[in-house]
Chain A
Amino acid sequence: MEMSWPGTSECDSHYISPSPSQTLMEQALPELPPEVISEILSRLPVKPLLQFRCVSKPWCSLIDSPTFIKMHLHRSIQSRSNLSLIVTKLNSNIPNLLCSVHFDKLDIAFELYQPLTFEKRLDQVWNSCNGLLCLSFRDVEVVLWNPSTRKYLDLPLSPVEIPVAFCRMFVVFHGVGYDSVSDDYKVMRITQFNGGGFVHFESEVRVYSLKSDYWRKVGDFPHHLKLDQCTGLLVGRALHWSVNTKPMLVDGPRALIAFDLVSEEYRMVPLPECGAVDFHLKFAVLDGCLCVLHHYHKKGIDLWVMKEYGVKESWTKLIYIENFECN
């Protein structure tokens, strides 16, 4: 396409590429509009961002504002940046020492100073949501923790009311999620009381909302949770739990129950159909989609992904790994 240049001779020499010595640092930028400043800052990793809080008061209040935090989170999710793995360090003197591994540098692990250390020992890391981890100590003491900013919040205690008939044992499960409708973080707690032989069981479910700072009782969990796979999987706005549909059988048929954090209702998630029966089932989340691992004993694993949430036909076999052994 043609471009007309009425004053070609004049404007040729104005903006030639900068000379090497003219770096950005030598000169002050004239003040940029605040929306551009937040555009620029939202592209920074967390560490420089926290450092730049002390540049000036306006910068500090910008970086601390909920709007900016959401913008930064949104951009990180969109560009898949600021991702890290949280792993437990083995062979250390401190029990359950956690480490963080950045996705960009997978060979370097940082030890994390997690809020539950000595007098309160970390028992379990449940799951994470938008960079927040849900940790627990002695079943009912729950902490929401942001490892990037090292800030944490002790949730108020909510004692478990044990029904008279079930004084023998109970297990507690936690999971954190985000309710996009009311813009609120919620923690779900399922307490399952087991009678003899796992045949009789009851449950109590409470949901903590960060905005109201209160544990509220919701409808009972209608299925028997598997003890060996006790983490809640967060996909979209629902937490997913692996259950045993025939609790009297130790290795009974599995199902996946979703708890919608917005409507606070339960529903069953359809699983992929496959002919074989002799396999172990594991659930996970991959790229925001639910996935199922079929582990055939001494053969290999199938990885299925539910591409469209809640649609049974969208289950797709992604990969088969031969001779794969896992515990």
Chain B
Amino acid sequence: MSSSLEKNMLILRSSDGEEFIVPEVVAVMSKAIKNMVEDECASNTIPVPNVDANILAMVIEFCKKHDESEAEAASDLKTFDSEFVNRGQEALYDLITAANFRDVKELLDALCQNVAEMIKGKSVHHIRIQFLGYQLFEILTSNFIWNIWCDRDFD
């Protein structure tokens, strides 16, 4: 495979073993990959642990768009970003983790901005459930105990 590989192309291997051929300029938007390439410790294939094929494909799509559209209007890119990050819970979490581990600054920025917009108007209660994984049960029980405490007869 490596013999037929064009110059300035890299192979990224996802955690579940799929391989993606991407231009080096796109791959090095991840600082972690950039460091590997610069230190020349990368062989033909760069493993990307903790990131599965679907998420890796999304990250590559994002990086390609950002690489291509340097000359494009910033507003177009912004629209692309806001559409790109508008995803379901699970994908959003996986993307954040991937962007954080692989150190893809632009992607992490767009994702964090998206989550910030989402939680701006939310109550503390919602934030607790969402970020701290407080289960409904815990909240109910703690409220229950609190209610008993408040309703106690102090005579």
Q: Please give the residue numbers on chain A whose beta carbons come within 8 Å of chain B beta carbons, in ascending order.
A: 1-7, 11, 14-15, 17-19, 22, 24-33, 35-37, 39-41, 43-45, 48, 51-52, 54-56
Contacts and interface: CB of A to CB of B under 8 A. Distances in A.
B54 A15 contact: yes
Given A1-B23, A29-B93, A36-B100, A18 B108 contact: no
B64 interface: yes
B34 to A, nearest CB: 18
B120 A44 contact: yes
B131 A48 contact: no
Nearest to A48: B120
Given A18-B87, A48-B121, A3 B128 contact: no
Contact of B119 (A5, A11, A39, A44): A44
B23 to A, nearest CB: 5
B91 to A, nearest CB: 5
B127 A52 contact: yes
B20 to A, nearest CB: 6
Contact of B91 (A18, A30, A32, A45): A18
A29 B89 contact: yes
B53 A40 contact: no
B96 interface: yes
Contacts of B134: 28
A93 B65 CA distance: 58
B96 A32 contact: yes
Contacts, number: 109
B87 A17 contact: yes
B77 interface: no
Contact of A40 (B91, B93, B112, B132): B112
Contacts of A27: 89
A55 B96 contact: no
Given A6-B18, A31-B132, A55 B124 contact: yes
A56 B132 contact: yes
Interface string B1-42: 000000001000000001111110010000000000000000
Contacts of B88: 17-19, 22
Given A4-B20, A43-B116, 6 more contacts: A3-B20, A22-B89, A28-B131, A30-B133, A52-B127, A56-B132
A55 B128 contact: yes
Q: State the 6 A-B residue pairs at the shortest beta-carbon distance, nearest first.
A: A18-B88, A43-B116, A28-B133, A39-B112, A14-B54, A40-B112
B145 interface: no
A7 B16 CA distance: 11
A15 B59 CA distance: 13
Q: What DSSP secondary structure best describes chain B's contact surface?
A: helix
Given A35-B100, A48-B119, A24 B92 contact: yes
Contact of A44 (B20, B108, B116, B126): B116
A51 B21 contact: no
Contact of A1 (B53, B57, B58, B64): B64
Nearest to B131: A29
Contact of B93 (A7, A11, A30, A48): A30
B130 A1 contact: no
Contact of B130 (A7, A28, A44, A56): A28
A1 B130 CA distance: 39
A235 B2 CA distance: 56
A36 B102 CA distance: 13
B132 A15 contact: no
A267 to B, nearest CB: 39
A2 B26 CA distance: 12
Interface in B82-132: 86-89, 91-93, 96-97, 100, 108, 112-113, 115-116, 118-122, 124, 126-132
Interface in B36-67: 53-55, 57-58, 60, 64
A29 B95 CA distance: 12
A6 to B, nearest CB: 6
Contact of B124 (A15, A17, A54): A54
A5 to B, nearest CB: 8
A45 B9 CA distance: 42
Contact of A43 (B57, B87, B113, B132): B113
A25 B119 CA distance: 9
